[in-house]
Amino acid sequence: PAREEDVWGVSGADLAQALRHPQVAFIPTLAEAASYLLKTLRAGNVLLVMGAGDVNTVGESVLGELRKASNVL
C-alpha cells in the first residue's frame, strides 16, 4: 500500500491476477516498474500513470531516461 491503511486486504498482486489479461503485470517496486516500462514501451505508445503515493515518480523516471536516450530536451 501507499501511505494509507489497507482496509480491504487486497494487494496489487491480487488485482493483477484477477484481471487475467496477458498485458497486465504486477511489478512490486517503482524502480522495477520504471525499468519494465523502459524495456516495453515503443514509439507511439502512451504512458498514463495513476495511483497513490509516489507513483508519479515512475513516469518522471521513464521520461527522464527516454530524454537521455534520444537527446531530447
Express each pLDDT in 24-57 by its tens digit: 999 999 999 999 999 999 989 999 988 888 999 9
Does residue 73 surpass a pLDDT of 60? no
Could you tell me which of 28, 26, 33 has the C-alpha nearest to residue 61?
33
Alpha-carbon gap, residue 50 to 52, rounded angstroms: 7
- Residue written as cell 508519479? 56
What distance lies between CA 26 and its chain's CA centroid? 9
**C-alpha distances in Å from residue 8, one per residue of 3, 27, 28, 30:** 14, 20, 18, 22
pTM across the whole model: 0.77
Q: What pLDDT digit, counting tens, does each position of 1-21 carry?
A: 556 677 888 888 999 999 999
Alpha-carbon gap, residue 61 to 31, rounded angstroms: 9
